[in-house]
């Protein structure tokens, strides 16, 4: 009778260990799904993908807004949650509130001279001091939609490559956005230089890029170390449980 009880206890212990390993490993190694929908446009507070379809009942990757990388949509396309990191999407205290959804879109479009391959850094500054930063480069086609709250904004721009700063012209000095409105701002980077990029500035930018890459690598290494320690502890628990089972089996046989 005791032998049967010991076997049952050992089996339960081993099952719990296995479930612990599978559950814990899946949480630690959880990555963004490869088929996650991508938001390419906002209209009246609703998100749309590249085909123009409204996104409903799903998480989606926001390629437009700057105030939350991942967005959860409800049955009618309403925004339920926003989160900066995929792993934090279920942590309510870390997610963005759904009460601040009355935002408009300022579509920034920039044309450049043929040989320009640099970067345009911009800031939309509201009269009250709220600032929305964005960056235009070859990768995004020097085009970006910025989600902002209602207000009047002035545009601050810096265009540069690895050698020079360039004059950037805008058709409008200020942009007025109302509620969930949509405004287009056209810019142009000219060949007129306004200064030279110093070696120190170039090195600082390179160091910032390298620093971000190193930080990302450290995060990945930390996650792997945690996973390794977690699996090692779980394996040791399973081995200990099996050892207890073997010892009890010999005692009763």
pLDDT score recorded for residue 107: 92
The residue ranges of every structural domain in the chain are: 1-29+227-253, 38-94, 103-200
120 within 8 A of 168, measured Cβ to Cβ: yes
- State the sign of the Cα–Cα–Cα–Cα dihedral 223, 225, 228, 234: negative
Distance CA 44, CA 197 (A): 42
pLDDT score recorded for residue 185: 93
pLDDT score recorded for residue 29: 47
Per-position b or e across 135-161, b if 16+ CB within 10 A of its CB: ebeeeeebebbbbbbebebebebebbe
* Mean pLDDT, 10 residues at a time, the chain of 253 residues: 58 59 50 85 80 91 74 84 81 48 82 94 87 90 88 93 94 84 93 90 58 52 64 72 62 57
Distance CA 239, CA 14 (A): 9
Among all chains, which residue has been given the structure tokens 């959880």?
Answer: 30
Q: Looking at domain 103-200, which CATH architecture does it have?
A: Sandwich (2.60)
């Amino acid at each position: 009778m005791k032998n049967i009880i010991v076997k049952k206890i050992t089996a339960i212990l081993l099952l719990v260990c296995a479930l612990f390993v599978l559950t814990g490993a899946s949480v630690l190694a959880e990555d963004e799904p490869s088929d996650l929908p991508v938001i390419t446009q906002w209209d009246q507070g609703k998100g749309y993908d590249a085909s123009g379809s409204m996104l409903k009942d799903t998480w989606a990757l926001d390629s437009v807004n700057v105030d939350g990388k991942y967005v959860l949509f409800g049955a009618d396309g309403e925004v339920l949650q926003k989160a900066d990191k995929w792993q934090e999407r279920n942590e309510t205290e870390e997610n963005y509130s759904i009460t601040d959804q009355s935002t408009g879109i300022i579509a920034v479009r920039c044309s450049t001279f043929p040989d320009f391959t640099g970067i345009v850094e911009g800031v939309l500054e509201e009269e009250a001091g709220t600032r929305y930063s964005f960056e235009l480069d070859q990768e995004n086609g020097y085009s970006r939609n910025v989600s902002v709250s209602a207000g009047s904004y002035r545009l601050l721009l810096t265009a540069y490559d690895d050698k020079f700063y360039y004059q950037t012209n805008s058709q409008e000095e200020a942009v007025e956005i109302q509620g969930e409105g949509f405004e287009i701002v056209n810019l142009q980077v000219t060949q007129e230089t306004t200064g030279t990029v110093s070696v120190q500035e170039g090195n600082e930018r390179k160091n910032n890029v390298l620093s971000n890459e190193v930080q990302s690598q450290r995060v990945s290494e930390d996650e792997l170390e945690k996973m390794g320690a977690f699996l090692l502890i779980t394996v040791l628990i399973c081995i200990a449980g099996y050892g207890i089972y073997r010892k009890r089996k010999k005692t009763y046989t």
